[in-house]
Amino acid sequence: MNNKIKRILPQLLTILFVVFVFGFFTINAQVNMDNRGIDFGFGFLSQEASFDMQFTLLDYDGQDSYLWAYVVALLNTLLVSFLGIIFCTILGVIIGVARLSQNFLIKNSAAWYVEFFRNIPLLLQIFFWYYAALRALPLPENAQPWFGVTYMTIKGYYIPSMIWENLNVFMSCLIAAIVAIIFIRVYAKKIQEREGKQLPVLYISLALITILPLLSFLIGGVTLNFEMPVLKQLAQTSFIFEGGIALPPELIALVLALSLYTSTFVAECVRAGIQGISKGQKEAAASVGLTPNQILKLVIMPQALRIIIPPTTNQYLNLTKNSSLAAAIAYPDLVLVFAGTALMQTGKAIEIVGITMLTYLSISLAIAALMNWYNKRIEIKEK
């Protein structure tokens, strides 16, 4: 009896406390909203947004609804996160491996790179790139081409855009090639287990992924043209580039800062992962008669990845959350567009901040769930 009370009483008190806090807030919110004449509800989502965004992936103008503005802004956030994740992974792996190099200079430069970018607040780095470094770029009329066809100017980075014809044919060829490669891998594994024969899977895969899309150009009627950015004079002293794709400086500054900052953390994860594999593993694999390539592929990498991937995913998650700093340099991401402009226009503070937080929360929880599933799968199964 006494034991039962000991178990139930603290739980009851905690629940009461939580209910009390929520109840207190709800009642206050009710009173406050009544006083200001605001009513709670999500009806505003279908109203006309009537503000503009300077950079969108999908078609959007001021006549679209708030809901559509939300979707477009969310896509902008995801774009930054996606680009950031790709670049920070590339940089992070290079730096992480460089930190383990035998070369004194390389090891130390990598270490200083990590110490340097890790210890400066991300917001300052974003500001530095946006307000200081990218402002030093030339005006469009003075810009020199990079790689012949792209232009880096103070107004953004201009790259040629691709104009596809029969894109879906090309895409289906690509998907077919990927499916075929998966089948071949499975088949090759079966053959190896049954007969001990090894098929040259890599060469077959490479051949498939180049030949099938190429065939779509030759037979499927797919064509690809490039639209080059061209300098155009608007007025006496005002020039812009037309055509192609323009990446705004906000996006460039954000991706640069996010990937430089996060790459230091990824580098540390990679270093820890590789260092975590004992030398004995490599020697044991070699003594069994595996080739260096096989050692890397079958013994070292599976173990290192088990250590590397969980913390690295955490860093990707951090990057995605940090991409909300976009609001500080007016890149139209979820926070700026929705929690900023839309909130100012509608005054629906609770709903909008709630939606914004829930969006980030669901991204985080989805990735966390995926991570847990992956961790379970690769866990060392001890008897």
Partner 1 sequence: MNLSLNRIKSQNQMTNIYIGSALLILSILDVFLNSFFGVNVSGSLPGNLSIFFPLILGFLGLSYLRTEYSGYKFLDSLNKNINTSNFNAFLTLFITFAILKAFPPALSWMVLDANISGDTKEACTGTGACWTYIKVWFKRFMYGMYPNELHWRINSAFLLVIGLGFVGYFFKENLKKYLALYYVVIYPIIAFLIIYYLISGGAFGLVWVETGAWGGLSLTFIVSFFCLIFCFPLGMILALGRRSNLPAIRYISVGYIEFWRGVPLITVLFMSSVMFPMFLPQDFFMDKLVRVIIAITLFEAAYCAEVIRGGLQALPRGQYDAAKSLGMGYWKMHIFVILPQALKLVIPGIANTFLALVKDTPLIFVVGLAEIAGMLALAKTNPKWLGFAMEGYIFAAIIFWIICYAMSKYSYNLEEKYKTER
User: Which stretches of the chain bind partner 1, using CB under 8 A?
Assistant: 7, 10-12, 14-15, 18, 24-25, 28-29, 31-33, 35, 101-106, 109, 115-116, 118-125, 127-128, 131-133, 135-136, 321-322, 324-325, 327-328, 335, 339, 343, 349-350, 353-354, 356-357, 360-361, 363-365, 368
Residues with Cβ within 8 Å of 45's Cβ and at least 6 positions away in sequence, in order, are 65, 66, 67, 70
Q: Which residue has 């109840």 as its token pair? A: 23
| Apex 228 CA angle, 227 and 230, nearest 5 | 130
Looking at the Cβ atoms of 177 and 252, the one nearer to partner 1 is: 252
Query: Which CB atom, from 33 or from 75, has the smaller least distance to partner 1?
Result: 33
- Helix (H), strand (E) counts: the chain: 13, 8
Helix (H, G, I), strand (E, B) or coil at 378: helix
Q: Name the one residue in this structure whose structure tokens are 């099938």.
A: 212
Residue 150 beta carbon to partner 1: minimum distance, rounded to whole angstroms: 20
Token pair 């705004």: residue:
248
> Considering beta carbons, is residue 167 or 328 the nearer one to partner 1?
328
Pick 209 or 343: Cβ nearer partner 1: 343
Closest distance to partner 1 from the beta carbon of 6 (Å) = 9
Radius of gyration for the chain, computed over Cα atoms and rounded to the nearest angstrom: 27
User: Nearest approach, Cβ of 125 to partner 1 (angstroms)?
Assistant: 8
Nearer to partner 1, 12 or 207 (CB): 12
In the complex with partner 1, the residue whose CB is nearer, 112 or 226, is 112
Minimum distance, C-beta of residue 60 to partner 1, in the bound complex (Å):
22
The least CB distance from residue 334 to partner 1, in Å, is 9
CB of 121 to partner 1, least distance (A): 4
How many residues does this entry show for the chain? Answer: 383
Q: What is the DSSP letter of 174?
A: H
Question: How many Cβ atoms are within 10 Å of 70's Cβ, its own excluded?
Answer: 20
Amino acid symbol at 337: V
Taking residue 110's Cβ as centre, other Cβ atoms within 10 Å add up to 22
